Amino acid sequence: MTSVPGLRVEERCLVMGVVNVTPDSFSDGGLWFDEAAAISHGLELVADGADLVDVGGESTRPGAARVSLDEELARVVPVIRALSREGVSVSVDTMRAEVAKAAVEAGAKLVNDVSGGLADPEMPRVVAATGVPYVVMHWRGHSHDMDSRAVYADVVTEVGEELAKRVDLVLAEGVSEEQIVLDPGLGFAKNAEHNWALLAGLSRLTELGYPLLVGASRKRFLGRLLADPDGTPRPFGHSDDATTAVTALAAHQGAWCVRVHQVRPNADAVRVAAAWKRAGAST
Ligand code: PMM
């Protein structure tokens, strides 16, 4: 089982809290853009029960444009260094090998690459050299046009096959099996129906043999599910209870980690799922 050095591994799903050091992220753009605000938010997430804090400097919301390498480095490295010095297990959310390398040098203990090594061909080799866990997410292209790629005949099978291909490639580049975590990439070239199918099919994805990370928090499909009678989607920050419900179900289905914006209720939910499973195993 993939483990994060310095992280207490328990018989439950881990909780990764999100710190987006961006002016334009999906649900919290601008809130933690200031370095000091990002650091104190990361510490708050840990106090709320986060096992890991995911620091990202590039928004991946649908339609987002890319930031420069220098800008991304300037956003994330000081925050990662400060949180790591405080003893926080930090992950870096980046598609760039140079950012991953600098982040690990600053103390990051996991690389979370939403492109699964597709955006930067150097990434798998760089991550292999660091030896830290590597989240390989299912991805079909950059955010500016990803919605046009949301075409599947059988989304669970196709995402599973495409992830398996990425696994073969990153292994060939030197990443070890123990480093790999897979992620179905909810909302990335997927519509609401695809996301629900992937969640319902999570146990099929666990058959690939790697730990799974699930990132449903505050995504558009939850806002759509909870839309007003007139069809107006629920705003991002108001779908946190639905995120918690997804966490409980995903943890019960065997997810290794959930990536969430609001930590406390999700930290509770993973404990509920673990107790439920333990009781089921002993009866
Ligand atoms: N989603 C976002 C960003 N990073 N990383 C992983 N591994 N999985 C995800 O689903 C994921 C991610 C986009 O969400 P945000 O902009 O609201 O943080």
Where do the domains of the chain lie?
A: 14-282
96: annotated active-site residue: no
How does pLDDT run across 29-59, given as a tens digit for each residue? 677 778 999 999 999 999 999 999 999 999 8
Atom 1 (ligand 1) nearest CA: 215
Residue 6: is its pLDDT beyond 50?
A: no
Q: What is the pLDDT of residues 217-268, one digit of tens each?
A: 999 999 999 999 999 999 888 999 999 999 999 999 999 999 999 999 999 9
* Share of residues in the chain with pLDDT > 90 (%): 82
Which helix or strand (DSSP H or E) is residue 258 part of?
Answer: strand 257-260
* pLDDT for the residue numbered 1: 47
Percent of residues, the chain, with pLDDT higher than 70: 95
Position in ligand 1 atom list of the atom nearest CA 186? 10
Q: End-to-end CA distance of the chain, in Å?
A: 25
Task: Look at residue 223 in the predicted model and tell me its pLDDT.
Answer: 96
- Cα separations (Å) of 241 from 45, 161, 248, 252? 17, 32, 11, 17
What's the CA angle centered on 24, arms 264 and 139, to 5 degrees? 80
Whether residue 65 is predicted with pLDDT greater than 90 in this model: the reply is: no
Among 137, 220, 239, 243, name the best residue to mutate to test ligand 1's pocket (greatest count of ligand atoms within 8 A of Cβ). 137
The pLDDT of residue 25 is above 80: no
Contact 98, 77 (CB under 8 A): no
**In b/e form, how buried is each residue of 138-155, taking b as 16+ CB within 10 angstroms?**
bbbebbeebeeebebeeb
- Tell me the three state secondary structure of residue 228: coil
Structure tokens at 70: 């220098």
- For residue 23, is pLDDT > 50? yes
Does domain 14-282 match CATH 3.20.20.20?
A: yes
Name the DSSP class of 12. S
Alpha-carbon distance of 258 to 270, in angstroms, equals 9
- Of 60, 56, 65, 53, nearest to 115 by C-alpha is 60
For 38-77, give the DSSP string.
Answer: HHHHHHHHHHTT-SEEEEESS--STTPPPPPHHHHHHHHH
**Strand pairing report for 90-93 and 213-214:** unpaired
| Residue 110 predicted with pLDDT over 80 | yes
Q: Which of 109, 219, 220, 234 is catalytic?
A: 219
- Report d(CA 70, CA 157) in Å as an integer: 38
Please give the average per-residue pLDDT across 20-32, as a whole number.
Answer: 75
Residue-wise burial string across 53-64, b where 16 or more C-beta atoms lie within 10 A, e elsewhere: bbbbbbbbbeeb
pLDDT at 11: 84
pLDDT at 27: 67
Average pLDDT of the chain?
Answer: 93
Locus of tokens 């406390």: 264
> SS3 breakdown of the chain: % helix, strand, coil, rounded to 5?
45, 10, 40
What is the best residue among 20, 60, 221, 247 to mutate for testing ligand 1's pocket, by most ligand atoms within 8 Å of CB? 60
Residue 259 known to be catalytic:
yes
Q: What is the pLDDT of residues 149-203, one digit of tens each?
A: 898 999 999 999 999 999 999 999 999 999 999 999 999 999 999 999 999 999 9
Q: For position 145, what pLDDT does the model report? A: 77
User: Whole-model pTM?
Assistant: 0.94
Q: What is the mean pLDDT of residues 205-217?
A: 97
Q: Which residue has the higher pLDDT, 168 or 3?
A: 168
Instruction: For residues 58 and 74, give the distance between their C-alpha atoms in angstroms, rounded to a whole number.
Output: 11
Average pLDDT over residues 134-138: 98
Question: Which residues pair with residue 113 across a beta bridge?
Answer: 136
